Chains A and B, each alone.
Chain A
Amino acid sequence: MSQAVVGKKYGIEQTEVSAIQRMQRVKIARLVDDNDKKPMVGRVKGVEVTIPIVYGSISFWLGKKAAESTHKWTTYVRSATNEDLSVLVKKVVFQLHPSFEKPTRTIEAAPFELSESGWGEFEIGITIYFHPDVGEKPLELFHHLKLYADDESIPQTTKKPVVVESYDEIVLSEPMEASFGRLRNHPVARVTGNPSSPLVLPAGESSLDRKGRDTKDHALVQWFMKHSEAEDLNLLTTARQQVWAAAAKLKKELGSLENEVLRIKATTH
C-alpha cells in the first residue's frame, strides 16, 4: 500500500511498482522456500564462530537450622558476556548424582540453570544440545559441585556463597549456513575468518528482541565471576620470552661447542 504511494510519488509506473513488489515477494518466497526445504545447504568455509561460555555452580549454606540438605545450590551454563544462549543452544541436560530424584534434568529454555538443595559434592555432567540447524553433536562437560569453601578457618555464612566457575569457548568451525546467519550478528558470538564463498543468508536475528533470556539481570549476577584472558596472556607472554631467551643462549652455546669439536678434529685428523 505504501509502496503504491511511493510509486506515485516518484512517478514510477503503477505496473512497474507492482512488478517490483511481485519480484520481491517471489524473492522472499524463494528464500523462505529454500529455508524450509533445504535448511542445511552447506557449510560456510573459512569461518569460525566462537561462543564464550561460563559454566559452574553457586552454593549457599542454609544456616545452622538447616535439616539434612545443608546447602542450596544452582548449577548453570551461561554466556560469558551474559548474553542469550538460546540462539545456539536448544537445551542443556544436567546429570546429577543418582541419589537425586530423577537425576537427569533437562532445561529447555534460557537461562540454562538448575537449582537444588543437598548436602554432598559430586560431579555434574552437563550436556549441551544445539539447535537442529546447527547440525552438531551435543557437547559434554563436567563440573565438580563445590559446597564447602577451601579455607576451613572461615566459618560458614549464609551471606556469601561458594562460587566455582569455569570458562570455556564453544567453537563452531565451518558452521552450517543457517545457523551462521543467525549467529553472526548476535552479541553472544564472535566470528573470525571470512566466508570463502558468497553467501545467500537469511538476515541475522539480532533485530529480534528476546527479553529476559539473557543473564544480565539474573538473580545471582552479583556472584558471577569475571573471566579475563589478560592474566593468562601476560603469564604466557613472559614465559615465552624467557624460554626464547634461554633457547637463544643454548643455540649459541651449541654453535661454539660445535666449533670446538670441529677444531679438535681438524687438528688431529
Chain B
Amino acid sequence: MGDAKDILGLPKLGERGSTEKRKTPKDAIKKPDGIHREVYALTGGLPPIMPTLDPVSIKKRTLPSKKISWQWLPFSTSARTDNLQLYHWVRIIDDSQPSGDYAFAKYNKVVDSIRYTDEEYNQLLVDSSWSREETDRLFDMCEQFDLRFIVIADRFTPPRTVEELKHRYYSAAKAILQARAGPNDDLSDHSFFKDSYNVNHEVERKKALNIILSQSRQQDREDAEVIAEARRITEARLKAKGLEESQVSTRAALHVDTTPARLPSPAATGDISFLSVPVTVASTTSVQVTPVPTPASAPSSTPVQTSAPIPASTTPVSAPPPVGPRPPRVYLRGAWLAQQIHSVVSPAGVRTSKRVDQMLEEYGVRSKPKVPTAAVCAEHLELRRELLNLIQLQKQVQYKENELAILRENPYAEIPATPNTPKRPHRGLENERVSTRATAVGAEFEGFPSSGKPSFHIILVQ
C-alpha cells in the first residue's frame, strides 16, 4: 500500500516536510520477521488479533527421532506351497525388521475339499447317470476351481448343466460326510446340511428367473399392475376376515357360514402364484376386481357376489364399516350421527361445512344434539341437508345475478361457463339490486325503438 502511494505520488498520512528525503515507509512499517512484508500488508498492516503460528516456528520441522531406512529384502509367505523366493522393499526402523507372516497371507481362503476312497465310492456314490471317471473329474475340478461351478460347467466334458454338477457334488459330499461322521459329531451345523441343495427347486427357480429376465418392458408393467391389484384385494379380504375372526372368537365356534369365506382365499392367493402367465391372468383378475367396488364393504349382509373367488357374503359380519348410509351393527347414536354428518356435508367442501356450522349457530342449534334420540338425530341430519341446499341455492342466485349484470352491461356478451366475474355481496343489498334493475330496464327500454310494444312490461316478482 505504501508502494501504491509512492507510485501515484500521493501525499502520505502525517506528512512531515515532504520535500526532504523521504523515509521510505517500508522500513518504518515492517514489523514482523519470518513473513514477507507484502503478505503482512494483506492483513491490513496490523498484527492479527488471535495469535497465529509463531513465525519463528514455521522454518524448521522436527526431525524424526528414529532412524528410518528402506531395504530390498526377500520374504516368504505361508500362502504359497512352492518355495518361491520373492523380494520387496521393507521399511527398517532402527535396524530392526518387522516380523510376522506376509501381511496378505490371511486372505488366502481355501475350500475344504472332500475326496473319497474307492470303497467309499463303491458303497455310497454309485449312480446311474454318473460314471466313476466323471465323478473323479468333477471332484478334481471342484478342488482346482474352489467349487466355482460355473467355471467347472464350462470345462466339463461331456457337458453337463450347472445344476446337475452341483447336485452330484453335494449329494456325494453329504453321503461321504455322513458316512465318515462318528456318533458324536454333529453335522447339522455344516452348511451342506443346513442349506441343502434342492436340484428341482433350483431348476424351476432359474427357469422363472429367465422368464422374468426375458420379458419385455410392457409385460413387466402389466405384471406389476396385476400384482398390486391382487395384493390390494387380499389385504382387503384379510382385513374383513380379521374383523370377522375377532367376532367369531366371541361367539361359539360352531358357525358354519364362515367356512365359505375361507375357501376362496386360497384360490385368490393361488392366482397370484400363477402370475408367470401374465396376460390371461390380467384379464381374469380385472373381472374379479370390478364387481367389488369398495372391497371393505363387500362383507355386508346384502348378497354380493359374481364370480366364485369373491368371498360369499352370506357370512354375517358383525362390524361392517360405517361407510355411506350403512350403519354398523352396534354403535352409539351420537357417534353415528357425527359420521353421517361428515359423509353428507364433506363432499361439499370444507368451506361449506364451516358455513353450515355457522348457520346452525345462528339458529341456536348445537352442532351435536344434547339428547341424540332417533327422532332428534333424524331431524338434525335433515336440517343439515337443508342448510346445504340453502347454501347451494344462494350460490346459484348469486351466479344468476352476476349473469344478469354482465348481460346488462353488454347484451351480446357470452356468459362464460364458470363465474369469473367479480362477486357481489348478496346479503342486505336487495334494495340496491331492485333499483339497478329498474334503471337498467329503463335504459334498455329506451334503446330499443323497435320494441314498441307497450305491453312489454317487466313484472318484478319478489
Contacts and interface: CB of A to CB of B under 8 A. Distances in A.
Contacts of A12: none
Interface string A230-262: 011101111110111011001111101110110
Contacts of A240: 379, 382-383, 386
A39 B254 CA distance: 9
A52 B319 contact: no
Interface string B351-386: 000000001100111100111111110011011001
Nearest to B450: A267
A130 B329 CA distance: 13
A43 B336 CA distance: 21
Contacts of B437: 260
Contacts of A243: 359, 363, 383, 386-387, 390
A236 B301 CA distance: 33
Nearest to B327: A173
Contacts of A37: 252, 254
B351 to A, nearest CB: 19
Contact of B383 (A52, A239, A256): A239
A239 B363 CA distance: 6
Chain A interface size band reads 35 or more
A252 B390 contact: no
Contact of A268 (B254, B316, B412): B412
B330 interface: yes
A38 B407 CA distance: 74
A118 interface: no
Nearest to B461: A256
B259 interface: no
Interface stretch (A25-33, A58-66, A162-170): A162-170
Nearest to A250: B393
B198 interface: no
Contact of A136 (B318, B376, B448): B318
A253 B411 contact: no
Contact of A252 (B331, B335, B461): B461
Query: For B255, B331, B437, which residue has the most chain A Cβ atoms within 10 angstroms?
Result: B331
Contact of A40 (B255, B330, B332, B403): B255
A229 B400 CA distance: 41
Nearest to B382: A240
A45 B205 CA distance: 53
B131 interface: no
Contacts of A263: 458
Contacts of B458: 260, 263
B161 to A, nearest CB: 58
A39 B251 contact: yes
A133 B250 CA distance: 8
Nearest to A264: B407
A131 B432 CA distance: 67
Nearest to B370: A232
B318 to A, nearest CB: 6
Given A240-B379, A240-B382, A232 B369 contact: yes
B438 interface: no
Interface of B: 246-247, 250-252, 254-255, 301, 316, 318-319, 327-336, 359-360, 363-366, 369-376, 379-380, 382-383, 386-387, 389-390, 393-394, 396-397, 400-401, 403-404, 407-408, 411-412, 437, 444, 448, 451, 458, 460-462
Given A40-B255, A171-B327, A265-B407, 8 more contacts: A43-B301, A134-B330, A137-B247, A175-B329, A244-B386, A247-B389, A257-B401, A260-B437
18 contacts: A132-B250, A132-B251, A133-B251, A137-B318, A167-B370, A168-B332, A169-B372, A171-B327, A171-B336, A228-B371, A235-B365, A236-B380, A239-B365, A243-B386, A247-B386, A247-B393, A254-B393, A257-B403
Ranked 4 nearest A-B pairs via Cβ: A239-B363, A257-B400, A136-B330, A236-B379
